[in-house]
Amino acid sequence: MPTLSGLDRLVADKFAALRGKRIALLAHAASVDKNLNHILDLCLKHDLNVVKIFAPEHGFFATAQYMEPIEEQHDKKDIPIISLYGNTKESLYLQPTALNNVDILLCDLQDVGSRYYTYVNTIIYALKACAETGVLCMVVDRPNPLNGNNIEGNKVLPKFKSFVGELAVPNRHGLTLGELVLHAARVQNISAVEIIHMTGWHRGDYFSDTGLPWVMPSPNMPTEDTALVYPGGCLYEGTNLSEGRGTTKPFEIIGAPYIDDPYKFAALISEQSDGVTLRPLQFTPAFQKFAGQTCGGVQLHVTDRKQFQSLRTGVAVIWAARQFPGFSWRSEAYEFVDDILAIDLLFGDDQPRLILEKGGSVNEVMAHLRKSEREFESDRASMTIYRD
């Protein structure tokens, strides 16, 4: 049975029931059906009344770089596009007044299976506004590209809750966006949520198993291979390593000008990683960190995605980079937080950083994270919608 996304199901089974409703979309470039038709075009084709559009981080057209504020825009049909990612933390929250004259908030955002990816949090923040105004929050579900079984990392501790860690779930959580939103709604005691389920998706499926087309959900998520390395790769944002933005292989290419021996760097990481080959290289980012500068580093070539542990590899990369003079943690504000280090927000805990700073090993960091993984394993059964 082929996989049908929630959007494919919505068009086939529920679109007729939406006629006459005032609909606001929360969507982006990857909000497409199996034939690459965009949700907005489908709504208009079926005579649905789309009164406004909300755009998450990276914008409705998925063109903005990370942490780049988005201004209000207009679609080709002159439908207003309201940004939910501006210059302040307050801009992240959909305001109840923005839902005046709206009956349904229809959300369709492709997630990538990592807690840091902010789209699910944008929907979670919108839930409260929907609850306050009586607007139904309807969420189109899509596959977790990394499968729905494997988890990596620790649950976010309350002190480290942020836009890259709103829910107490691991870095790689093994849940779909619909499952995450439904869990958040239960925690907040919000009932006006409807998840449009997929069919034909199995928890062991990676994105390439679904037969659905991949569309970039953000500028630096060009392929499903990027999503595979992202659970560990996003950690580099909390350091002065280039995570490969400004190259054609973001999160697969990592390095910095101070990595003066890429072969040593690759060897140190390889000792700690399985299912991946580390290729030493030099690269010059076109933008973002170290733009125009030659960096030494590695490219990750995943050879066995079932054996590959992205988060462990990410920790190994950081551990190896610390062996070179010049490494440092990011100290600038990160996702509107300026009093907690970015690396601690990304881990959802400061202990991994402290273990590394004390000279601890990759194994010590992973042992700390596994305690939380085991706790989450028992919690996750109550969060799942799809069971093989």
Which of 388 and 50 is assigned the larger pLDDT?
Answer: 50
Residues 6 or more apart from 244 whose CB is under 8 A from it? Answer: 220, 233, 250, 251, 252, 253, 254, 283, 285
pLDDT tens for 345-383 read 999 999 999 999 999 999 999 999 998 999 898 889 899
Q: What is the mean pLDDT of residues 329-340?
A: 96
Please, what is the Cα angle at 385 between 381 and 388, to 5 degrees? 80
What are the residues facing 187 on neighbouring strands? none
Domain 6-215 homologous superfamily, CATH: Uncharacterised protein PF07075, DUF1343 (3.40.50.12170)
CB 124 within 8 A of CB 154: no
Percent of the chain with pLDDT over 90: 90
Angstrom CA distances, 203 to 12, 198, 207, 220, 385, stand at: 23, 12, 11, 25, 10
Please provide the average confidence, as pLDDT, over all residues in the chain.
Answer: 95
Q: What is the mean pLDDT of residues 159-173?
A: 96
Q: Which residue matches tokens 């499926």? A: 205
Instruction: Identify which of 131, 107, 104, 108 has the alpha carbon closest to the alpha carbon of residue 49.
Output: 104
CB 49 within 8 A of CB 104: no
Is the confidence at residue 76, as pLDDT, over 80?
no
The tokens describing 251, both together, are 């999160």
- Helical segments of the chain, H only: 6-13, 15-18, 39-45, 119-133, 177-187, 224-233, 262-270, 310-321, 342-347, 351-357, 362-380
Q: What is the mean pLDDT of residues 207-230?
A: 97
- Burial degree of 72 (CB within 10 A; 0-12, 13-18, 19+): exposed
Say how many C-beta atoms besides its own lie within 10 A of residue 59's C-beta: 22
Residues of the chain with CATH 3.90.1150.140: 224-349
Cα–Cα distance for residue pair 122/117, rounded to 1 Å: 10
Is the confidence at residue 147, as pLDDT, over 90?
yes
Using 50, 70 and 90 to split pLDDT, how confident is the model at 73? low
Percent of the chain with pLDDT over 70: 98
- Quote the pLDDT of residue 14: 87
Residues 6 or more apart from 350 whose CB is under 8 A from it? Answer: 160, 341, 344
Cα–Cα distance for residue pair 213/235, rounded to 1 Å: 27
- Quote the pLDDT of residue 213: 97
- Quote the pLDDT of residue 172: 97
Q: What is the distance of C-alpha 7 from the center of its chain?
A: 19
Residues of the chain with CATH 3.40.50.12170: 6-215
- Judging by DSSP bridges, how do beta strands 22-27 and 104-108 pair with one another? parallel
Q: Which amino acid is at 117?
A: Y
Is the confidence at residue 72, as pLDDT, over 70?
no
- Helical segments of 188-258, H only: 224-233
Please, what is the Cα angle at 380 between 375 and 383, to 5 degrees? 145
CB 217 within 8 A of CB 56: no
Is the confidence at residue 139, as pLDDT, over 90?
yes
Using 50, 70 and 90 to split pLDDT, how confident is the model at 63? confident
Please, what is the Cα angle at 221 between 228 and 181, to 5 degrees? 75
Answer yes or no: CATH 3.90.1150.140 is held by domain 224-349: yes
Using 50, 70 and 90 to split pLDDT, how confident is the model at 388? confident
